[in-house]
Structure 1
Amino acid sequence: MHPPRHHDVTFDATSDDKGHFVLKLDKPLPGTLTVEAEGFLPRKLQVQAPASGLRVALEAGATVRGTVTSSDGAPVHDVDVTLVKQDVKVDPVTSENLESEGRTAFAGSTEEDSHFTIQGVPPGAYAVWLRANTGGYERQVPERVEVRGSETVELALHLDLDGRIAGVVVDAKGQPLAGVTLDAHALSGTASDFHSYTPVSVKTGPDGRFVLEPLARDTDYELEPQKPGYAMPRPPEEPMPDEDDDTTTPGEVRERVERWMRSQEDPKVVAHTGNLAVRIVLASQGRITGRLVKGNGAPITRFSVNDEPVRDPRGAFTVFVEEPGLEHLTFQVPGHALTQRDVKVPPGRDVDLGEVRIDTGHTVRGRVVDDATGRPLAGVDLSLRLPRDAVKAEDVAEQENEDLMGYDGFSSFLDATTGPDGTFTLPAVEARPYLLSAQLRDSDYADLQRTLGPTEDTVELRLVGETRLEVWVTDAQGQPYNGMVSARLTGSFETTNNLSSGDGRTFFRDLEPGEYLVGIRHGNEEHAVPYKTVRVEPHRVTRLELQLLPKGATVTVRWGERGAQGQALLLPGSMPLPRSDEERQQLQRTALDTDSPSNDRWLNVAPGPYTLVVLHHLGGGKWAYHRQDVTVGTGDTQEVVVPTIQW
């Protein structure tokens, strides 16, 4: 039973062998009772709960049955046949499926004799899809089905799964690779009626050879080889195209961009069914080997490396890398310290770490309290990670940007939460520096980070209040308003802009204490945008409310007898003149948007103090400025008279 749409609550029940059912609801309410049974058409009733003695009669829908055979008439089993309803009603405004509460797809599967049966199909027109669970694809067939009432429709469908693809997988030296998993995905056809499904999968034998079957006849497949520590070689990377190159045409630039984007894609192998001579080359990406031992040299026979369990009488381990570069290893052994190593793996090379010794390590215990009162804080989340300088600088420098994206050596690896008395305990770690972070979510406390010494095992963390500014913006009717909110420190040219979180609230963190001018970024809206001055105190949460005004003034510059003498900027609050090109650019970015080509008129300006600045370019990178204070009133229009300026 479904209540009206504005309630997201559903109550369910199943009828017994006599057809009786009981729905238990929390309270009386109206709703839609939906009754569904296999082989029958669903029925919906509007009911008012509580109710009893309901009698619901279901009508049998249409039956679609038939066979799926190959071209030579052989039965094809384990194929899903799906009917997809056509011409489903769609809301013209929202594009929402108006029949989303009813089924629009009905399916059955072929048995050993190739027969299938689909019952309870509502009247309408349907497209027919075949999904080959052993052929790695799904296809829409030309046949269409039109059903009426409770009739039975017969279908004779054909599907050929006698295709095969064969070949060999070798390494960069041409030697066969055994144990390579190959997945075959059918590619989409140009008519958009064919798309990939569950892939056909096989492993190469000792000679590196493979045979993929059964596949769909006359079809292209993408072959995806997978073997730990191996990857298909990438072609030389195309250089990033220069879109500002004046020597190339726009068409040439587009072609270069497309070629560069293709070079960023992973290599692909595409083969047509019937191709029995596919050759796939995989290059070794390198691996890391070693032995895990205790402090006395005895082997550790059970452990995990990067969460992968290992059992070996000698403590030997092998880690295959996905790509060369910096690799982070985490060793975990019950009763021993969590141990980490960073290893640089050259392309195609193996790195042997020899013996990796693990000791019992030391636990880290501590307490988190309020800095001002000393009160213990419960529910504080603690996390431990390695500091950035824990990895050799030259390794990081060579692995910058995207190459470090897959590196997880800087992620937190141990977590804990303080109890009611504010205490916590982290599991044993090895002796090395760490970075300990503390965070009390949904609170007014600032996050804290503290460096731990190599053997430091006891710590007290004192949380201070967060220096945070919260701005709540509402429209003229008092409803939350979402937009870009700006905060500028008095006397500064730099503005911090943050988007609201969706409920009209915007949060500014890590602001320097001081006086700020806060407002919505002006963009010629149909309302006036007020600005307010607020003082942000250290280690406190400062809250400010801003409400948009229905309308503001139209402010226009009236120039002197020489006419316009530069670019006019209108800025909220009091602004000094810039002393550098950087400050001039910040000034221009901070100014209110203008709606006139001459840049001397502003719409919907809220009442308050403003600064008018006129910029005049003297040439040679030099600028001259004129500044005057402006107070905008509550009238509909206001002129700002700029006297003739002697530049």
Structure 2
Amino acid sequence: MTRGHRRAAFLIAGSVVVLLLAFFLRADEHASRHPDRSASGGPGSLPGPRASSAAMASSRESLRISGIVRDAQGPVAGVRVSASRVDADTLSERPCPETHLDHQHPRQERLLADCSSTDREQEYARLVEMREGEAPVLAQTVTDDDGSFVLDGLPAGAVTLWALGEAGAAVQPEVEAGSDGVMLMLEEGILLSGQVVDAFTRAPIPGAQVTWVHEAGSRFFDGLADAQGRFRVGPLPPGRYVKVASAKGWRTKAFLEDVWLDADSDVTLELQRKVPLAGVVLTPAGLPASGLTLHLSARDERSDSQSTRSDAEGRFHFEEVPAISHRLWAWTDDETAFGEVEVLPPANAVLRLESVTFIEGTVRDEQGTPVEHVAIRTEEQSQRDGPSPATFTDEAGHYRLGPLTGGYVELTLKRERYQNSEHRLSLSAIQREPMDFTLVKAMSVDGIVVDPRGTAIPGVRLNLRPVRHDYSSYLAANVRAETALSDENGRFIVDSLGDGADELIAETEGLRPVRMAVEVPSTGLRVVMHPGASVSGTVVDARGAPMSNVDLFLWNTAPLSGQGRTTRVDSAGAFAWRGLAEGHYVVEARLRTLGSVDSVSQPVDLEPGTDAHVSLRFDEGRALRGMTVDTEGRPVPGVRIKACIPNEDIPAWVMYGPACRSGDDQGVLSGPDGRFILKDLRAPAYQLVAWKEGLEFAPSRSRGGTPDASSLQVSAGADDLRLVLEHRPRLRGQVVSEDGTPLRFSVPGWTVMGQVLEGTFDFPLANDGRQSIVVSAKGFHDLLREFKVSPGKDVDLGTLVMARSRTARFIILDEATHGSLAGVRVHIRFSYERNPDPYPHPIPGSFEGVLDARSSAEVEGLPFAPIGLYVVRADSYSKQFVDLDAAQETVTVLMPAASP
């Protein structure tokens, strides 16, 4: 047996032992982790007092943690205490699922928390739906009458302790197993509530599950929506949470709550219904294409694609697809034809393949000598299974590139010591002759990048820019700047746009940028990069405890210095930036909550090689209390209030200040009695904004501060605030047909896309002054009404009578063969050339899309009068005019074939 075989056998034997132990140790743990996921939230009910993991307690290496749970009044009985651990399988430690990498952020250095918001949302939705990534609960129990608890059966190492009770909640990370006398101090817990609705109709989704994920601790807390789609979870400890909502028949979706939640939150979560998608795939000749694999993916986001096969008639079917825009595409097995179309389920789809193109030829220099290893790449082509086509020339300078799709292609040819060459080619015009290219020699600079000790530095980005004195030429040089990366030996070759004096710029993460004048051409250049200055530090609260819930910014106070740098703090409140140029900086820490944004900052001067350390401390904050009332002084519950730093108090070196928006799901909520509290405020003055649907904040009628047009400015000593909300005017009306029958209609811009109203509408008006509304109903002409809004006065448009319209079907065929053009994209539009000016009837909308399986398209909103339109075939831009009489409902149009 080889050493590799012996090692494998040892690992297998060890794995069997581990699995057997895990089976017994996890059996009771599973029951304790999922005892009862109820609408009340939290980890659920427990088997009884002192319930803990007995299986783990039987382990010979098991440890325990003992302590007491208290609140401001003393020990608290009946509090659920549990211990969990964040590890490599939990959400906090999962890597970012990036589809591409860059040199500044290698995959192994980026965690899920550092992903883009879109990637984070999609990955959270995927993992939570599969119930993956939750921190395992190692033991749990309930406090005795004296508030004491004991957690048995813990493995060695640090754990996170959770205390959840009706009196409040607490979380304490990094508690070593074996600790005694641990005190958990309950804070006022937060209640997380809201409603789950359909994204298009706004109808509630009963039975939807909502999971609140505590980001730092990777704990899941579940709630179940009732018949009205309402849910409630908590009380939970303050923290950063991600919401994940799911329901059978709807797409699971994650919602980032990128603020520190320290107050009750009420949100609306929108889910997209899953629907079937069916259609047909056709060959370039318009015949059914059988046995093809079709791929489907969301158009505007990164997501895994679905696949299915077409049957003998070219038909295909996807069972469940979110009702959002998708890309549908397919290749033939031999990659001689490709098709792509945008679809919006549940509409039937038609996908017509197009023949693809391969191009080949030879790349030579100015003397006609073949050039090998020239990189030839295309700009992003249509959706496909892999990257866009790319190739290299061989020793004879020959290349073959493809398959290429669409009407044209943009090529870029690159090789060291040659000028880049870009070409835009019409694929329809390409003949069978070779496509040859000539590269022009470039003036180059080559050398090596090293640190002060002479060690080579790979992955350094180097730009060579011409030195210019006038601004316009400088901008042009910026656009055309050449870039190279140093290889694993630190060597580089970067090409210039000409000869003479250039500026070489070398940049990489963690080292100070280098700018140096160079002569072009030159060889053997040595670029030395130094570590530069660094700033590190910690953020603590008023008690000196580390704060990991803040955002860190580093601002260069020099004019026009650009955006600041950002970073995160670790669990110990520590942060660091490296590779900084000398200068005057300000380090800022921001604490963002539902109700406010507070910050502390400290200036720091950096000299070359400086290693500066700063300590940022958030002082004890104060509270602002008040009440939201109507114009009669009656309490108004459910108002959202936010405190913002006044614009004049934001320092000039802050390139982008904290957002202060109203109208979203953030803001502290006023209670049933209208009372609210804004906690932990530290700035000398704030601007308060308040909002609730159908009401408008009236600062001039409010009390406790200085009003302006949209906010109330309050000082540090403000108390007994009264924020007045007044009735907003409403817009009302009734929509009927010419015979008085109430209609089903929509109001674009006033209702959610896809939401259909029945007979009447009643909307709050957001602004005063002149406004307009457009009412749309299938089979009727759109109706426009203009009106004027005056403060405090409702607007009643009365009965809106909609006039009937007609729909005409355009059957579009190939002019030469009279064959079907199903799946070909066309545009059908109103013709200003073929109709009188001014046109005395409503102008219809246009059609833009692919022809259906019958080679036809419908145009709605046509008047019962003669009208002229034109049809454009997108693949050839050929144009045909069509004249319809006053009653025509079907017309056949013969379109010329695509240009050769």
* TM-score, normalization by structure 2: 0.33
Which structure has the larger Rg? 1
